Amino acid sequence: MEAFIQITQELLGSEQVRMMGRWKHHGPITTLDHSLFVAYLSYRAAKALGLDERAAARGGLLHDLYLYDSKDKSAHPGWQCFDHPRAAARNAEALTELSEKERNIILSHMWPLGGALPRSPEALLVDLVDTFCAGLEVFRIYHPSRLRKRLGVQPLTAGT
Ligand SMILES: [Fe+2]
Ligand SMILES: [Fe+2]
């Protein structure tokens, strides 16, 4: 967990990432808790598989950085499935220097439903981990706020 925190430190402390705590993503789970869950599991899996764990951790953490209420139809122009990876990539680019691989991880995380094609094993991995985490969240098998607390990340809610 220490190495994961070190890799993502700059992002974990940023307002943009902590702001994801304002919006719910799957039922009662915030986008921040979901993103930390995806980032950490992607990091662990990438490490175990001998892949680029830094790109998996950072791409996983930023994959849903769209920063709006997904239920608010006026917040984005089209279909959430296509729109939110693009919005997340835009916001991530403004926040940090993204590698081409990290950018593709974000843009392709909804594949094959929409968006770009995954162009690396790490992109495919984050895509799979995202689906796996969403399943655990939707069926209330795991509440990732426990992981957020262990990581020591404070959500930035409206008014804080
Ligand atoms: Fe997403
Ligand atoms: Fe996601």
Give me 8's structure tokens. 């993502």
Entry pTM = 0.95
Longest dimension (CA), the chain: 42
* Distance, CA of 91 to CA of 20 (rounded, Å): 12
User: Around ion ligand 2, which residues have CB less than 5 A away?
Assistant: 64, 130
Domains of the chain, first to last = 2-66+77-151 (1.10.3210.10)
Please, are residues 32 and 18 in contact by the beta-carbon 8 Å criterion?
A: yes
**47-98: pLDDT as tens digits:** 999 999 999 999 999 999 999 988 887 777 777 778 899 999 999 999 999 9
Which tens digits make up the pLDDT trace of 86-139?
999 999 999 999 999 999 999 999 999 988 999 999 999 999 999 999 999 999
State which residues have CB under 5 angstroms from ligand 1, the bound ion. 64
CA of 77 from ligand 1 middle (Å) equals 16
